[in-house]
Structure 1
Amino acid sequence: MPRAEFDKPVKVLIVASPYYKDISDNQIAGAVAELDAVGAGHDIVHVPGALEIPTAIGIAERLSNFDGYVALGCVIRGETTHYDTVCNDSSRALQLLGLQGLCIGNGILTVENYAQAAVRADPKDQNKGGGAAAAALHLIALTRKWGNSGQSVGFASDILLAGGKTTA
């Protein structure tokens, strides 16, 4: 898809888990490059792990003024079922926030091994950090398009009452 375009400033929060610091650094580099390409401002915060990312986004939404969010982290399958819990719960929480109207690009990698993560995080290869930023920007653009469509909310015209009378 072509890059989203904006006529007003955009402010995005990147929430990253640096559990695998080099993977996180590459994801952030990809996201920042994508945001810079459209002139979007950004802040970056770090949280301990992927499970804390949705919580940090929820807090920021309540207490700050960001237009959108980029969730960046990496979960590599281990020997226990903890992998499944972290992958499913972080994804589900981000989806629920999105369904509430938040513009979130999900760049939490869920991979089998470190080599897969390195390829997906590399800004010069698959660039999933940049892809997550692009997704957030597209959602912001849609929100602005539909929010500024000029359509009224509620009763925009007269209300027809029983008996043929109208009210303004």
Structure 2
Amino acid sequence: MAGASHYTLPLPRFDKPVKLLIVVAPYYRDIADDLIAGAKATIEEAGGSWDLIEVPGALEVPAAISQAWRMANFDGFVALGCVIRGETTHYDTVCNDSSRGLTLLSLQGCCLGNGILTVENHEQAAVRAGEQDKGGGAAAAALHLIALQQRWGKPKGAVGFRPLGETIQLADGGAKA
């Protein structure tokens, strides 16, 4: 598409610094390093801080984010890695399942940006990780979702049944069993 331009939202600003976890599958180390550099720079540009962990492959990225989301205190997450098409259908499995895992987490309220590249060859990956800064783009996506979550406030509470005998606080200050 000759002459196509892409609009990029300005980074959100925060009243207090946010902290993100960057989870990377460094199978292609050179690509991973470029993705990481872009993510770090974008988070720092928005006034945030980051921590970094590595996992064996793209399929482990959603699992690691899920664990950190439940057990740690991060505002958001950046998923990074690269899957290059090979001779078997394993490529399709890794691409689809890692993406599906990340999508399911985000639909549950986890603020994350998906920067796992799915490409045909190393040259495509190098362009996307370097000059296209897909790591920075994934960090920006996570930052925008954090800003939305902060704008709309905390989750409203659990949905469903409550255990027998549990009391709830009423708006008028009373309680109900």
Normalising by the smaller structure, the TM-score range is 0.7 to 0.9
Out of 16, 33, 37, the position equivalent to 1:29 is 37
Deviations 1:52-71 (A, max 9, x none): 00000011011100000000
Post-superposition shift, 1:113? 0.4
What is the aligned-residue RMSD (CA, Å)?
A: 2.0
Out of 118, 135, 139, the position equivalent to 2:141 is 135
Q: Could you tell me which residue of structure 2 aligns to residue 67 of structure 1? A: 75
Deviations 1:70-122 (A, max 9, x none): 00000000000000000000000000000110001000000000000000000
Post-superposition shift, 1:19? 0.1
After the TM superposition, which parts of structure 1 deviate over 6 Å for at least 4 consecutive aligned residues? 152-155
Identity fraction in percent: 67
The runs of 5 or more residues in structure 1 that have no matched partner are 158-168
Post-superposition shift, 1:155? 7.1
1:145 paired with 2:151, answer yes
Aligned residues, how many? 155
Q: Could you tell me which residue of structure 2 aligns to residue 165 of structure 1? A: none
Amino acid at match of 1:128: K
The runs of 5 or more residues in structure 2 that have no matched partner are 1-8, 158-168, 173-177
Q: Aligned equivalents of 1:137 and 1:155: distance in 2?
A: 34
Matching of residues 93-132 of structure 1 within 5 Å:
93-122=101-130, 125-132=131-138
TM-score, normalising length: structure 2:
0.83
Partner-residue secondary structure (3-state), 1:79: coil
Partner-residue secondary structure (3-state), 2:82: strand
Deviations 1:146-168 (A, max 9, x none): 006xxx879758xxxxxxxxxxx
